[in-house]
Each structure stands twice: as structure tokens, then as C-alpha cells.
């Protein structure tokens, strides 16, 4: 059984990674466990299973933790890496947004996230953290074909006339608040995007993942890194691991 663990900033990233893993590996080949981590500051830390998607004959297990905030992604990886490695999770990936930091802070953030405590420095590739510039919604904004699935009126010309920019013909990374852009675009046709769970589920279900994997990944380095990592796990040779309950 090949195993990969993700630690993501929030439920939006969790929903997207869940779908991306299934698209790349194949729904019939992977069991996906989605967990939520809560507490830890003024309350006891706990984790619970948010959903469990079981394949009949899985060759992969994907464990996706919703850490609840961007600044907890690395700390939760560090807290769990030893037990996950012992359970056979040899690939551990973090995903967080750059926002609310400005884009010129990206190099500093990347450097800080790569810093390892002494106890982990002997591990081979302990983990990777992917930073979505500016938000994971940047990737949603870039997948413009989904707008017409919401409403046929949402052409580039229509959006530009009302909002002053054409998402079909811009670099999505140039937009400072893509989640707000999505909400403004949807409001043009009487809908909204406020990051509620059902809204994110519906949005992600409309995304063209073939386009994401074929056309968008060369244009968005962080997205390409995430896709490449999952593809590498799929292609890797299976190493026998002890049976565990995770």
C-alpha cells in the first residue's frame, strides 16, 4: 500500500486536494481519509475524521488533515511526522496560502518553512510545503471554463464590463484577493462564494481537472509542484510496510 499524507490550511484546500488525488490516482484505487484538527491553544487539541472514502481494492491511502489555519501547517507536520513515517507515510506534503502576506514575502516564507529542527535533519526528504500564491482560489480563478458552467452570461467581456478585469485574459497571480474576485463574479449572476463547505464542494465539482493538469500547471509553479508530487507517488515502486490502522 502506498501512502501519502497532506496537511492543509483549511477545508477549501482539503476539498480540492481530495478531488485532485482521486483524479490523478483514480477513485477506485485510493482510500481517502479526511481529518480535522482543532483546539491546541486554549483548549485540548483533538482530531476527528471528517469523511472517509473507501475503495474496494485500494493500492493507495491518502490522509488529508485540515489544520485550521496557515500557521499550523508546518507545526502539525512536525508533531505528526514520526508516527506517520512509522505507519508507512513516506510522502508528507503541506499546502497553505501566501495570503495575507504580500507576494514579496514569498522567499522569506519559503525559507522559514524549509527550516528543520535538529532531530529531523537526518531524514531523507522529511516533507514538502507548497505555497499557493496568493490563495488556492487563484487556481480556481485560473480555471475559467467553470464560469460558463455556473451561468452562460459569465463571459470575459461580461465580467470585464462589470468588474474591470477579464479573468480569461489575465495572470491570476496578479489578483490580490482571488476569493473575493470569485465572489464578485458569482454575484453578477445572483450567486456567491463565501467559502462555505457546500459552496467549495460545488465549485470544485465544476472545475475541469483535465485542463488543470494539462494547461494550468505549466503556468502556476505551486500547482505544478503539487500535481507532480502526487504523480510521483503514483509512479513510485511499492515498498512493503507493516499493516496499520491509519
Regarding whether 213 and 199 lie in a shared domain, the answer is no
* Structure confidence at residue 242 (pLDDT): 47
Regarding whether 159 and 129 lie in a shared domain, the answer is no
Regarding whether 226 and 187 lie in a shared domain, the answer is no
Residue 38 lies in a domain: yes
* Structure confidence at residue 238 (pLDDT): 63
* Rounded Cα gap, residues 90 and 121, in angstroms: 15
Regarding whether 214 and 199 lie in a shared domain, the answer is no
Q: Transcribe 106-172 into DSSP letters.
A: HHHHHHHHH---GGGTTSSS--EEEEESS-THHHHHH-THHHHHH-TT--HHHHHHHHS--GGGS-G
Distances (CA, A) of 190 to 154, 178, 185, 187: 12, 18, 9, 5
* Structure confidence at residue 239 (pLDDT): 55
Contact yes or no for 242/88 (Cβ under 8 A) = yes
Residue 31 lies in a domain: yes
Regarding whether 98 and 17 lie in a shared domain, the answer is yes
What's the CATH code of the domain at 72? 3.40.50
Regarding whether 163 and 124 lie in a shared domain, the answer is no
Residue 242 lies in a domain: no
Residue 246 lies in a domain: no
Residue 70 lies in a domain: yes
Residue 241 lies in a domain: no
pTM for the complete prediction? 0.92
* Structure confidence at residue 243 (pLDDT): 45
Cell numbers given for 201: 464542494
Regarding whether 117 and 55 lie in a shared domain, the answer is yes
Contact yes or no for 32/4 (Cβ under 8 A) = no
Instruction: Kindly give the confidence (pLDDT) of every residue in the chain, 246 residues in length, as a single tens digit, with 9 standing for 90 and above.
Output: 899 999 999 999 999 999 999 999 999 999 999 999 987 777 778 888 888 888 888 999 999 999 999 999 999 999 999 999 999 998 999 999 999 999 999 999 999 998 888 777 777 678 999 999 999 999 999 999 999 999 999 999 999 999 999 999 999 999 999 999 999 999 999 999 999 999 999 999 999 999 999 999 999 999 999 999 999 999 987 655 444 455
Regarding whether 174 and 64 lie in a shared domain, the answer is no
* Structure confidence at residue 45 (pLDDT): 83
Regarding whether 220 and 100 lie in a shared domain, the answer is yes
- Residue 142 structural domain: 138-204
**62 DSSP β-pair partners:** 4, 32
* Rounded Cα gap, residues 81 and 49, in angstroms: 18
Question: Cis omega before residue 165 (within 30°)?
Answer: no
Phi/psi at 74 (5° precision): -65, -45
**6 DSSP β-pair partners:** 64, 93
Regarding whether 213 and 187 lie in a shared domain, the answer is no
Regarding whether 154 and 116 lie in a shared domain, the answer is no
Residue 93 lies in a domain: yes
Residue 220 lies in a domain: yes
Contact yes or no for 35/27 (Cβ under 8 A) = no
* Rounded Cα gap, residues 1 and 107, in angstroms: 36
Regarding whether 153 and 118 lie in a shared domain, the answer is no
Q: How many domains does the chain have?
A: 2
Amino acid at each position: 500500500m502506498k501512502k501519502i499524507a497532506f496537511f492543509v490550511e483549511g477545508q477549501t484546500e482539503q476539498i480540492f486536494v481530495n478531488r485532485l488525488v482521486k483524479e490523478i490516482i483514480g477513485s477506485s484505487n485510493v482510500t481517502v481519509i479526511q481529518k480535522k484538527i482543532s483546539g491546541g491553544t486554549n483548549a485540548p487539541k483533538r482530531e476527528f475524521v471528517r469523511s472517509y472514502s473507501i475503495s474496494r481494492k485500494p493500492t493507495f491511502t491518502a490522509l488529508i488533515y485540515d489544520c485550521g489555519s496557515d500557521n499550523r501547517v508546518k507545526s502539525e507536520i512536525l508533531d505528526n511526522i514520526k508516527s506517520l513515517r512509522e505507519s508507512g507515510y513516506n510522502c508528507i506534503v503541506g499546502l497553505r496560502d501566501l495570503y495575507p502576506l504580500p507576494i514579496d514575502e514569498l522567499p522569506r516564507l519559503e525559507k522559514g518553512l524549509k527550516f528543520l529542527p535538529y532531530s529531523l535533519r537526518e531524514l531523507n526528504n522529511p516533507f514538502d510545503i507548497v505555497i499557493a500564491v496568493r490563495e488556492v482560489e487563484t487556481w480556481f480563478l485560473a480555471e475559467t471554463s467553470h464560469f460558463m458552467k455556473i451561468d452562460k452570461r459569465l463571459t470575459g467581456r461580461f465580467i470585464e464590463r462589470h468588474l474591470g478585469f477579464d479573468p480569461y485574459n489575465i495572470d491570476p497571480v496578479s489578483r490580490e484577493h482571488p476569493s473575493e474576485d470569485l465572489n464578485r463574479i458569482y454575484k453578477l449572476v445572483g450567486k456567491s462564494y463565501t467559502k462555505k463547505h457546500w459552496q467549495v464542494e460545488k465549485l470544485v465539482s465544476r472545475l475541469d481537472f483535465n485542463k488543470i493538469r494539462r494547461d494550468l500547471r505549466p503556468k502556476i509553479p505551486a500547482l505544478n509542484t503539487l500535481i507532480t508530487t502526487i504523480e510521483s507517488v503514483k509512479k513510485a515502486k511499492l515498498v512493503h510496510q507493516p499493516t496499520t490502522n491509519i
